[in-house]
Amino acid sequence: MACYFFSQPLPHLFFYFVLFSSFIPFVFPLSTVSISETSNQTLVCALVHVPGATQSSLSCSSFPSGIQIPLNSNTSFSAIVGGDGFLCGLISLSPATSTLVCWRFSVNGTNMSYKRIYQDLALSQLEAGNSVTCGLVNDTNRLECWPRRKFNTSSVDQNFSSMAVGEDFVCGLLESGNITCVGSYNAVAIQEPKGIYRAIAAGSRHACAINFTGALDCWGMAGEKPPQGEFISMALGENRGCALRTNETVVCWGQGNFSLPERLRETYFSTIEAKRKVFCGVQKSDFSLYCWGNENFNPNSIVFKYVLPGPCRSACGPDGIIEGSGGWCPKGQQICRHSKSNIRNSVPPAVSPPPPPPTLETHQERCWSGKMIAFLVVGCVGSLILLLVVGFFLFKYCKCRGCRVHDSGRLDGTGPGAPVEQSGGPSQPHAPQTEEASPVLEKRLSQLASMGNAGHLEEFSLQVILEATNNFSHDKTIGTGSFGSVYQATLEDGREVAIKRAEISNTSSYADEIHRVLDARVPPPTPFEIEAVIYIGYLAADCVTLEGRDRPSMAGVVNSLEKALAACLVHPTSLSRSTTGGST
């Protein structure tokens, strides 16, 4: 299973793309070599150029011999992959559609079956594990795997730019360069390395990735530690692996001191593939295929000649095409150049690289910015609601307490124990009481007016009233009340109002003898009885004029009534001021 570069680097990694593009060969996302293992047999297949033909043909060889794949020479494949007991080929009917067909065979190569498993949008990458085949749908990079009963891709909600398939897991590179693995094998699926990577590969029970310094990072059942150096691609098997260096030589590592055969250590390769114990590579010079890894392969023997070093394409990048490859592909297609002639001697451009931490921090800041915006919005909404609630209660408080015109309060000196003004002679029995009650009455009336629900209370100066009534002219009089005359007036703003002027009346001498005027048979009240009536009157006023929440509670009502009753039961110790007048 080979690894491939993701095709679209992020903008903030542009420097690394420039740095490595000058000396890294182009790596193809579609493989032209496949390896299938079944029991003690290995089937190696490759897309081979036939001299004189305009398209490649699929050739397969079994080691040891025994597996025969019935092939149609008229079918042209663009990529092939293999696994345990199966071989799959990708047919590109058009640039927009692909068809995937597979052969399955038993241990001894018998019971061969052929089936088409996919025909839809074109696949940009095709990989196979030991039992599962997966592909990336072109344009959308959606992951599709077969058979679906073994690996359900409905739970994969991320699109990969490149992927690798292992045993019971799939790992993919996101467009950001991060790695995400899914599947039931937790040793790989939940232990992905953190960082930015450019290539990924998977073995049976482990995976490896190449970071942007060219170093290898492996996780899972990786066996021995991978070698140091700079690499451009990998091929992983079962507890072993091989990697292609930037100078296009191969190094291998793994369980049991696995290494590359001595014969191939100075050979330059275009691409490498692996499955379980077997590894194969296409030689760069003559495109011959060599395989190694078990006793069935002789590193000195060529498996196939003229193996396509890459898939046929309709367009190539700045490196151009491989000379003479136009005759290896259908009309209008060619094989793109996969390396430069001066790879080993190339020097990276002298560009001062930006430090990696700021790039990572920028990415993290972008991730955190979304969270910070959410917290900011929630905080602003909560603060606004709190301000509205506080403002509402302040408004209600000012309306009930702070917005009154006068600072009114309870009448002073009205309790049961308050001193009562006594008269010293019969000539002016009510004078002290009248003088004291007048300001108290005005204060109480002001309180009642300010506590009402009638609205705004406005005050006018005496000069304004005199001008409006023409100095209380008799022509302005529209009526007479018990305390004075009522005048019609027009204010400066055009409002018409009625103004009542309090006047001294002779009837005021009866104010303290109202009980005699109403019913002569009723005995005069004592001062304490008058106090009791005052308590009840104030209680009634508080119950009807205040707002509901400010009205007296039941305990307050009972307390006021008890005070009134206590005032009535007090035995008079002196004459009432009401009896010191001219009563007969």
Binding-site residues for ATP, in ranges, read 500
Task: Indicate the helix (H) or strand (E) that contains 390.
Answer: helix 356-397
Binding-site residue positions: 500
Write the DSSP string, 15-69. HHHHHHHTT-----SS-SEEEEEETTEEEEEEEEPPTT-SS-EEEEEEESS----
Longest dimension (CA), the chain: 152
Q: Residue 103 corresponds to which tokens in the numbers above?
A: 């052969």
| Helices marked H in 398-489 | 431-450, 462-468
Closest CA to 1 of 283, 206, 296, 155: 206
Count of CA atoms in the C-beta half-sphere (13 A) of 128? 31
The pair phi, psi for residue 327, each rounded to 5°, is -85, -5
Characterise 239 by phi-psi region: left (phi > 0), alpha (psi -120 to 50), beta (else). left
Angle between helices 527-545 and 554-568 (to 10 degrees): 160
Q: Is 368 helix (H, G, I), strand (E, B) or coil?
A: helix
Query: How many other CB atoms are there within 10 angstroms of residue 341's CB atom?
Result: 8
Characterise 183 by phi-psi region: left (phi > 0), alpha (psi -120 to 50), beta (else). left
- Rounded distance between C-alpha atoms, residue 146 and residue 115, angstroms: 12
- Rounded distance between C-alpha atoms, residue 4 and residue 135, angstroms: 13
